């Protein structure tokens, strides 16, 4: 977390421009006024001094001030993070559940026609970047079929709609970004689960269980539990991938979340908001890896031995 946020801190300040140069660009303001604002924020100090001040604020839990939003960064994150968490949470649950089910089904039928069709389909999805898949979904469901809204979280008339229509409006706006994040994840989990399940299906304990008369459903259940550990590790590493995918998907669908705000903050050189976003995504990466390790130990005690 410290390394990632420090690297972003340095790179942002090495890039041309600063929050005030970008904010007041094209306005007939005296240069002295802009320089006074920069000095007020300490942007004219040497970089080591700025870094020491920023690091001290982070240690105290102060994330800084967003020049773009004219609010504390903490308040901006509090407003935007739940929207991104909703999108990522739904995508992760969908990717895990459908991907694991599909991969387990393929693993027990390796080489069949259905397995070949599913393998080809997941390979195609696995090869598609989220932003390109998002553009394809826009073309299909918005431009061609006209079934779903293109951008935003709600429509302009959302507040005056009846309760049922408001719920439907939110769900319709959620479908496309949710699909764009979920489909690639489903293909990733399916491919890993298939490979792991196929290996477990060939283990001697499967033949032994069948020889003892264990029902086929029970045999599949035990094989699936054995094949679960690698997929759990993958799930922990999927969280940072979802964060990166959310940046592009939110931007394309104008979803008002942290990913969209981070791109805008980079363009506006909103230093504090960008570094806070990177710090947050690094924390998600660390948390995902730790959670995956703990769940792996619960599922398979051999991991901790």
The helix (run of H) or strand (run of E) holding residue 72 is strand 71-72
Residue 305 has pLDDT above 60, yes or no: no
DSSP 147: -
**Domain with 86 in it: what CATH number?**
1.10.3720.10
Q: How confident is the model at residue 146 (pLDDT cuts 50, 70, 90)?
A: confident
HSE, CB side, 13 Å, CA atoms: give it for residue 73. 23
- Predicted confidence at residue 27, as pLDDT, reads 66
Confidence of residue 163 (pLDDT cuts 50, 70, 90): confident
Same domain, 35 and 108: no
- Dihedral-angle region of residue 257 (phi above 0 means left; psi in -120 to 50 means alpha; beta otherwise): beta
Residues 111 and 141 in one domain: yes
Q: Please check whether residue 250 is in contact with residue 81, taking contact to mean a CB–CB distance below 8 angstroms.
A: no
Is 34 in the same domain as 148?
A: no
Domain match, 154 and 183 both: yes
Residues near 13 by beta carbon (within 8 Å), at least 6 away in sequence: 47, 50, 271
Is residue 67 domain-resident? Answer: no
Average pLDDT over residues 115-144: 87
pLDDT at 273: 92
Residues 251 and 155 placed together within one structural domain of the fold: yes
State residue 296's pLDDT score: 73
Whether residue 7 is predicted with pLDDT greater than 90 in this model: the reply is: yes
- For residue 225, give both structure tokens: 């539990």
Q: Is the pLDDT of residue 229 over 80?
A: no
Residue 74: what pLDDT? 92
180 and 86 housed in the same domain: yes
153 and 264 belong to one structural domain: yes
Number of C-alpha atoms within 13 angstroms, CB side, residue 240?
19
The whole-number average pLDDT for the span 280-293 is 84
The predicted structure's pLDDT at residue 78: 92
Q: How many residues does the chain have?
A: 305
Q: Is 257 domain-assigned?
A: yes
Task: Please enumerate in sequence order all residues whose Cβ is within 8 A of that of 247, keeping only pairs 6 or more positions apart, or say none.
Answer: 259, 260, 262, 263
Q: In Å, how far are 89, 102, 104, 107, 150 from 195, measured between CA atoms?
A: 25, 12, 9, 7, 37
| Span 169-198, average pLDDT | 87
Together in a domain, 53 and 168: no
- Segment 211-235 shows an average pLDDT of 78
- In the chain, which ranges are continuous DSSP H helix? 2-14, 19-23, 31-41, 47-59, 73-107, 113-127, 130-137, 163-201, 204-211, 216-226, 228-253, 258-267, 271-299
pTM of the predicted structure, to 2 decimals: 0.80
Q: Identify the residue whose tokens are 């773009």.
A: 68
Within-domain flag for 68: no
The answer to whether residues 227 and 148 belong to one domain is yes
**For the chain, percent of residues with pLDDT exceeding 90:** 14
Ramachandran sector of residue 71 (left: φ over 0; alpha: ψ -120 to 50; beta: rest) = beta
Question: Could you tell me if residue 126 is inside a domain?
Answer: yes
Q: Return the minimum-mean-pLDDT range out of 24-28, 73-77, 80-84.
A: 24-28
Pair (39, 138) in one structural domain: no
Q: Which range among 1-10, 55-64, 158-167 shows the weakest confidence by mean pLDDT?
A: 158-167
User: What band does 205 get if pLDDT is binned at 50, 70 and 90?
Assistant: confident
Residue 241 clears pLDDT 80, i.e. is over it: no
Report pLDDT for 301: 62
Calculate the average pLDDT of the chain: 84
**Are 83 and 225 members of one domain?**
yes
Q: Are residues 177 and 205 in the same domain?
A: yes
| Contact yes or no for 160/106 (Cβ under 8 A) | no
pLDDT at 70 over 60: yes
d(CA 263, CA 254): 11
Domain boundary among 13, 28, 62: 62
Q: What pLDDT is recorded for position 75?
A: 93
Residue 36 tokens read as 């006074």
**Has residue 69 been placed in a domain?**
no
C-alpha to C-alpha distance for 77 and 74, rounded to whole angstroms? 5
Domain boundary residue among 62, 89, 106?
A: 62
Quick check: is 175 in a domain? yes
Task: Supply φ then ψ for residue 12, to 5 degrees.
Answer: -60, -40
Q: Which domain holds residue 107?
A: 76-304
- Is 70 part of a structural domain of the chain? no
Residue at which a domain ends, from 62, 93, 108? 62
pLDDT of residue 233: 74
Q: Looking at residue 107, what DSSP letter applies? A: H
Q: How many domains does the chain have?
A: 2
Across the range 31-36, mean pLDDT stands at 76
């Amino acid at each position: 977390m410290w390394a990632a946020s420090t690297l972003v801190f340095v790179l942002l300040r090495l890039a041309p421009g600063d929050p005030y140069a970008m904010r007041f660009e094209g306005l007939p303001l005296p240069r002295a006024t802009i320089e006074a604002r920069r000095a007020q924020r300490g942007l004219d100090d040497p970089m080591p001094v700025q870094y020491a001040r920023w690091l001290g604020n982070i240690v105290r839990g102060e994330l800084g001030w967003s020049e773009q939003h004219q609010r504390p960064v903490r308040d901006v994150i509090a407003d935007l993070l739940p929207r991104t968490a909703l999108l990522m949470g739904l995508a992760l649950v969908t990717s895990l559940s459908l991907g694991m089910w599909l991969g387990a089904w393929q693993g027990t039928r390796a080489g069949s026609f259905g397995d070949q069709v599913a393998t080809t389909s997941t390979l195609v999805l696995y090869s598609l970047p989220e932003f390109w898949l998002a553009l394809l979904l826009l073309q299909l469901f918005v431009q061609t079929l006209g079934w779903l809204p293109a951008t935003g979280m709600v429509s302009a008339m959302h507040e005056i709609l009846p309760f049922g229509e408001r719920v439907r409006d939110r769900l319709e706006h959620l479908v496309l970004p949710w699909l764009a994040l979920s489909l690639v994840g489903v293909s990733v989990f399916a491919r890993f689960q298939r490979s792991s399940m196929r290996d477990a299906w060939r283990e001697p304990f499967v033949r032994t269980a069948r020889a003892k008369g264990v029902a086929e459903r029970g045999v599949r259940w035990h094989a699936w539990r054995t094949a679960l550990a690698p997929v759990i590790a993958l799930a922990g590493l999927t969280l940072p991938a979802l964060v990166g995918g959310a940046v592009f998907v939110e931007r394309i669908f104008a979803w008002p979340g942290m990913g969209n705000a981070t791109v805008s903050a980079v363009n506006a050189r909103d230093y504090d908001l960008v570094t806070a976003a990177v710090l947050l995504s690094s924390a998600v990466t660390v948390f995902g890896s730790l959670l995956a390790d703990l769940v792996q130990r619960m599922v398979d005690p051999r991991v901790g031995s």
